[in-house]
Amino acid sequence: MQIIDNFKVLFIRNSKLIFVVFTCLLVLVILNLVRVSFSERTEMVSNQFDEIQDLIDDMKNKDKQLYNKLDVVKVQKKVKGIDVSAWQGDIDWEAVKASGVDFVMIRCGLRSLANETMYEDTKFKYNISEANRLDIPVGVYYYSTAISEIEVLEEASYVLNLVKDYKITYPIVYDFETFGQNRAEGLSDAKINKNALRFLDYIRGHGYYAMLYGNQRSLENNWDLSYFQGYDIWLAQYNDVPTYQGDFVMWQYTDRGRIDGINGNVDMDISYYAYEERT
């Protein structure tokens, strides 16, 4: 009992010191836990960066031969065109050519709204083969639902491999429309903008013109066009005249156009530049 009483007296006399020592030990434990957690997060970020860089290096090596060898120039003149996909079914391209269309934008592929699966447009090969055969100038667009840099780089590589055997003079277009929806629910506009820029930079790095597609609302509210200086814009606004105040070089003015060779509606476009092979 005497020992216990002595211990109590010692504790009471030195309670402040004991409290200080205990507090210091607790702070040291907390700081060590924070340091370990920060180190783990730093390592995780570093690993993610390494993963992206490894993917870029791997794709660049794999895609280094996929370079557009055509010498294409932009000529300022107003030309009329259409954009098509599998939705237009079987197109009579002879009739389309005879109608006087100056160019065509063809969907080459898309990513699922629900998951990461990528698809080739089921009519892509037929449409581009016929347009090339008939010397109708061609550009292509890819419908993206990418939610990460890795996915968007996969899409860019996928597109390059789809178009490698065809003549492309008009731009390769990044088409993202599901802001805040489907796979992109909760994804910030800033992230979507950075993804789009990754796609366009990769495409341009392989010798193609690259273009961003958007409707008036997304161009005014979602796309930060300061990211895309030097890239052409394709505006979708279904109106008699465009009222969008920003810069654009191509205008999709209706989705209810009619043209010989296509059963049903088709998107109609005006481009204020022609993308021509230098002669």
Tokens read off for 19: 């409290």
Residue 248 is classified by DSSP as -
In this structure, how many other beta carbons lie within 10 angstroms of the beta carbon of residue 237? 18
Q: What is the mean pLDDT of the chain?
A: 89
For residue 64, which amino acid is it? K
For 44-78, the pLDDT digits (tens) are 445 656 777 787 788 888 998 999 999 999 999 99
End-to-end CA distance of the chain: 107
In this structure, how many other beta carbons lie within 10 angstroms of the beta carbon of residue 236? 25
Q: Is the pLDDT of residue 170 over 70?
A: yes
- Using alpha carbons, select from 201, 190, 192, 208 the residue that is nearest to residue 151: 192
Cα distance between residue 45 and residue 32, in whole Å: 20
Q: What angle do CA 228, 250, 193 make, to 5 degrees?
A: 25
Q: Supply the pLDDT for residue 55.
A: 74
The rounded Cα 263 to chain-centroid distance in angstroms is 31
Cα distance between residue 146 and residue 133, in whole Å: 33
Cα distance between residue 167 and residue 136, in whole Å: 10
Tokens read off for 49: 């960066």
Cα distance between residue 119 and residue 272, in whole Å: 31
Place of tokens 């899409």: 155
Domains of the chain, residue spans:
13-57, 70-277
Q: Is the pLDDT of residue 12 over 80?
A: no
100 Rama class: left (phi>0) / alpha (psi -120 to 50) / beta: left
Give SS3 for 143.
strand
Contacts of 138 (CB under 8 A, 6+ apart): 103, 104, 105, 106, 128, 131, 132, 166, 167, 168, 169, 170
Q: Supply the pLDDT for residue 42.
A: 45
Q: What is the CATH number of domain 70-277?
A: 3.20.20.80
Q: Supply the pLDDT for residue 39.
A: 46
For 215-263, the pLDDT digits (tens) are 999 999 999 999 999 999 999 999 999 999 999 999 999 999 999 999 9
Cα distance between residue 41 and residue 38, in whole Å: 5
Q: Supply the pLDDT for residue 57.
A: 84
